[in-house]
Structures are given as structure tokens and as C-alpha cells.
Amino acid sequence: MSSDTSDKKPAVSDVKTSGGDQINLKVRDADGNEVQFRIKKHTPLRKLMDAYCTRKGVDLHSYRFLFDGNRINEDDTPEKLGMEDMDSIDAMLFQQGGV
Amino acid sequence: MFRGRRRHSHRSLIRARPSKPGTVLSTCSQNAFKLIRRPSRARQARVVRSGAPSSQGYAISLVSLRRRGRPRHARNAPAKTRLYADKTTRSRSAIEAISWRDNSLHRYGRTNGRQELTPSERDLLRWAWSHSTREQILSRLCDVQICLRGCDLRCLRHPGWLNDEIMNAYMGMLNRQYRSQGVYCFNSFFYTRLTSPSYRFEFVHRWTRRAGLCIQRNSLLLVPVNVDQRHWILVAIDASRRELRCYDSMHSRDGWRVLPNLERWLYDELTDKRVKDPWLLSREWRTLLAHEHQPVPRQSDGGSCGVFSLLFAEALACNWPPERSRHLSPSKGVYCKFSFGQKDVPVLRKRIALELLQQRLER
């Protein structure tokens, strides 16, 4: 899944050695598929979420993004959440139930 | 019913219209925060006819003129007037601006949830359910980082299905209130992450560490579980009795698919965190479906299992630690009794919506 060729400027998916203020983050969905993103530490994670949802072809509100069980806000940055290189973000599909 | 036309509709005017030129009731759009004092019917009609186009998209005016409803001694006081809010920016201040004059609320555990809503609560709920836009943020719960939008809160209307935002926001509020008593509420994604595509402890082992969870003898862990995108159940991991109980409002056997995974997680978690307590490390934990051992309220409509799950969680949390069972042997303790049923659900849905809007649990 990591061979993505999309050229999203803030969050590109091709993996390089993370240097300086950029880190690699894995986004993992409920089926166990992983997509890797490279993002600057002070870039809002909104960009990553947008890129992921666009890639999946779904509405931004369909997925909930969690880091270690805590919900990620659109304005959060990797630096603020204390993310490190190769950390994983969980992308969980919305849930509903009634019967 | 709540959504029906009120008998004294002249007392309260609530308006919200999309900004189509010529059709708009735009008393509030241009001067959104100008006080309106009891407009005469003639003036209302004039406003309707003039129909000035709005430049602000949706705008909501909530004008409560409740003179006649007030006690005689209060009738000469100025009419209570409230006005709010445009798209998203003012939604919080709108909620905060409402003064909770008649806040004589009781915990629904004691009153069976049948008490009526106060007029101000009814107004707030009507605003949230009927006059907000889908994307409008109505409540921002900072500790769980959830923004409840109009479409989220609308699923609390009877008999809508609850989504994960409502469940997790409410579990977050329970956490805030009862964490100090040894209760910890997981979010609904915990179980999904643990078990999909298959059981993987390493997917969640950092979750509990990040949350600072340490399982002890007096711990009660509440895990809301979504079953196949159609059903909500609640699993209570009760360390004082060494039990994993599944609370299911449908009294189904779905719990038997869930309980083994959570039991396995529990052993893994205790090992991973190097818990030393022999009481917890014992392999004598029991798994059971609660409705086979105690009276559990049963759902008879087609959409309220999420509401039941939240109410189970609330009742279990607020009765924790169990007074009588603490010193008894585990098998003789008293289970939490539930004092609500299907007939209370429509009111309790409103109560939950209000609690989420006010961001506090009623006591």
C-alpha cells in the first residue's frame, strides 16, 4: 500500500529517510491496511487526513483518526501530540447501531 | 410530543430559514444580536412580507416570550428574550447564553426519567434538533476532542440509531466524572481496533498506557462495543468480582462473540503492565451475559440499543463501588439495579442530548 504516487505537497506518501523536521507516519485502517505519509512536524494533521480520505475516495467525516486511542483534532500537529517517526495513526470508520 | 406544535405557540417564536431571497424570515440575519421584544403580530407579518435577503446564510432567532406562562408576580418583569446564532462561530456562546433558570433536575436513576423538560431545556433541544444545520458544531467536548455537529445530535431523536460520536462523547463525560472512583470508560473504537481484522493486542497496548490506566481490585472498566455496524452493547469488566459482564438491551447472544476477546485482552493487559496482584492474575475470571443473571431492561423499539448501552454505563458508573458487595464473597454481591425501561427512552434521549449540549451530567 505504500507505493502511492500522489504528489500531495504537504503529505507525500513516498518514504524517504526522515530528516530534520519531517517524520513518517503510518495510517492504519480497520482492515489492517497501512499507508505511509511523510509530514512536517508542525504541519496540521488535517492535511494528512484530507489526503487519506481523498485517496480512499470518501467524505472527511467518515473516518475518525486516533493516535494511541485519543482522537486527533484537525488542528493538532505531530509535534503537539508527541508523535515520533514511524508511529501509527488509526483510521476508524464511523460506527452506528440500533438493533 | 416534543416535535409537535406547541399549544401556546405564540409564546415562543423560533425561526431558522436558509437564505433564499424573497422567502426569508430574516428578522435576525442582519441584526442577529439585537434584542427583539415581543413583536406584535402585525409587525411579524410586515417582516415576513418584506423578506430582506440574508447575507449570512443560516441564522437562528430564538425568541421566548413567556409572560403568560410565568407566575403572576413575575409578569411585570421584562420578557425573557434570547437570540442566537449563526453558522458555527456563535454556537457555543449560544448555548452558554441560555440561563438555566429552572434547573430543578433530578438524576433519572431515581425518577425513572419521566419528569418533563423545563421550557428552557425544550427550547435548547428544539434549537439543536430542528434549527441547526447538519455541519453546525453544537458542542465541543475538549477532553475527548469531539465536536458534536447537528447531524450527530439529531440521531438522538427517537428512534434514531446512535453513532460513535454520541457514544464516545458520553463515555468521555462519564470518564471525567467517575474516573476518580475507579471507573474507566473506553471509547467504542477500542474493541474494533483490538479485534479487526483479527485479535492483535499490540494495536492497543499503548492506548491504556497513554490513558494512564492501571487495573486494580476496585476497577470497573466499561467497554462499548459496536457489533457489525448494527448494534451497541456494553461490556463491564468488574475487577472486584472478577467478572466480564455483557449488557445487551436485545438480550441476544452477540456477547459471546465479544467476551472471549476481551477476556484475552485482559490477561494480556495484566501481563503487559506487570500487575502483581494475585487476585487479578488469577485465571478465575468469569464471563457472562448479564441478562441471564439479573433483570436487565429490554429494548422493544428498533433503534435504542445505543441509548440503553449509555444508560447501563451511567448506572454502573454511578453505583460504583458497590456498597454491599465489597465485603461479601464475589458470588453473593448485589448487582446494580436499573430503574429505567423502554417507556422512559424517549425522555432519556432528550436528557442525554441536553447533557451533551450542556457538557455536564445531571445529578
Query: What distance in Å separates the CA atoms of residue B161 and residue B163, rounded to the nearest whole number?
Result: 7
Q: Which residues in chain A have Cβ-Cβ distances shorter than 8 Å to B302?
A: 98-99
Question: Looking at the predicted structure, is the pLDDT value of residue A2 above 60?
Answer: no
Alpha helices of B10-112 — where are they, by DSSP H?
41-50, 91-97, 108-111
Q: Does a structural domain hold residue A13? A: no
Q: Which residues in chain B have Cβ-Cβ distances shorter than 8 Å to A72?
A: 145
Q: Cell digits for A73?
A: 483534532
Task: Specify the pLDDT at position A60.
Answer: 86
Q: How far is CA B272 from CA B186, B214, B259, B266, B275, in A?
A: 18, 11, 20, 10, 8
Task: Specify the pLDDT at position B338.
Answer: 92
**Is A74 near chain B, with CB under 8 Å?**
no
Task: Specify the pLDDT at position B333.
Answer: 58
**Least CB-CB distance to A95: which of B145, B164, B204?**
B164
> Which backbone phi and psi does B206 adopt, to 5 degrees?
-85, -15
Q: Does a structural domain hold residue A3? A: no
Q: Output the CA angle B157-B159-B160, nearest 5 degrees.
A: 65
ipTM metric: 0.84
Smallest CA–CA distance, residue A30 to chain B, in Å, is 6
Domain B163-339: assigned CATH number: 3.40.395.10
CA atoms within 13 A on the CB side of B161: 14
CA–centroid distance for B136 within its chain: 18
Task: Specify the pLDDT at position B82.
Answer: 37
Which helix (H) or strand (E) segment holds residue B209: the answer is helix B205-211
Q: Which residues in chain B have Cβ-Cβ distances shorter than 8 Å to A68?
A: 206-207, 209-210
Q: Cell digits for A13?
A: 506518501
Q: Cell digits for B246?
A: 455483557
Query: What distance in Å separates the CA atoms of residue B355 and residue B219, rounded to the nearest whole number?
Result: 25
Q: Taking the CB of residue B291, how many other CB atoms lie within 10 A of it?
A: 19
Q: Does a structural domain hold residue A5? A: no
* A77: containing domain: 22-93
Give this prediction's pTM. Answer: 0.73
**Is A26 near chain B, with CB under 8 Å?**
no
For the stretch B50-55, contacts whose Cβ atoms lie closer than 8 Å and that sit 24 or more positions apart, written own/partner, are B51/B21, B51/B22, B51/B23, B51/B24, B51/B25, B51/B26, B52/B24, B52/B26, B53/B19, B53/B20, B53/B21, B53/B22, B53/B24, B53/B26, B54/B19, B54/B24, B54/B26, B54/B29, B54/B30, B55/B19, B55/B29, B55/B30
Q: Cell digits for B72?
A: 403572576
**Least CB-CB distance to A98: which of B188, B193, B306?**
B306
Q: Does a structural domain hold residue A29? A: yes
Task: Specify the pLDDT at position B141.
Answer: 92
What is the residue-wise DSSP string for B324-336? TTTTS-GGGPPPP
The CATH number for A68's domain is 3.10.20.90
Structural contact between residues B105 and B51, judged by C-beta atoms closer than 8 angstroms: no
CA atoms within 13 A on the CB side of B261: 22
- What are the residue ranges in chain B where pLDDT is below 50? 1-113, 325, 328, 331
Residue-wise pLDDT tens digits, B208-254? 999 999 999 999 999 999 999 999 999 999 999 999 999 999 999 99
Q: Does a structural domain hold residue A12? A: no
Which helix (H) or strand (E) segment holds residue A54: the answer is helix A46-56
Smallest CA–CA distance, residue B204 to chain A, in Å, is 7
Q: Does a structural domain hold residue A87? A: yes
Q: In 3D, which of B295, B306, B314 has the Cα closest to residue B363? A: B314
Q: In 3D, which of B210, B192, B282, B297 has the Cα closest to residue B241? A: B282
What is the residue-wise DSSP string for B263-300? HHHHHHHHHHTT---HHHHSS--EEEEGGGTS------
What is the rounded radius of gyration, in angstroms, for the C-alpha atoms of chain B? Answer: 24
Q: Does a structural domain hold residue A10? A: no
Task: Specify the pLDDT at position B162.
Answer: 96
Which helix (H) or strand (E) segment holds residue A74: the answer is none
Query: What distance in Å separates the CA atoms of residue A72 and residue B263, rounded to the nearest whole number?
Result: 28
Residues 6+ positions from B208 with CB-CB distance below 8 Å: A69, B269, B273
Question: Taking CB atoms and an 8 Å limit, are B207 and A94 in contact across chains?
Answer: no
Q: How many domains does chain A have?
A: 1
Structural contact between residues A38 and A45, judged by C-beta atoms closer than 8 angstroms: no
Query: What distance in Å separates the CA atoms of residue B299 and residue B259, rounded to the nearest whole number?
Result: 21
Q: Which residues in chain B have Cβ-Cβ distances shorter than 8 Å to A27?
A: none
Query: What distance in Å separates the CA atoms of residue B349 and residue B306, rounded to the nearest whole number?
Result: 10
Q: Indicate the domain borders of chain B.
A: 163-339
Strand arrangement of the beta sheet that strand B243-247 belongs to:
B183-185, B220-227, B231-238, B243-247, B286-289
Q: Does a structural domain hold residue A71? A: yes
Residue-wise pLDDT tens digits, B295-312? 999 999 999 999 999 999
Residue the block writes with cell 455496524: B229
**Is A81 near chain B, with CB under 8 Å?**
no
Residue-wise pLDDT tens digits, A14-68? 445 545 789 999 999 999 899 999 999 999 999 999 999 999 999 988 999 999 9
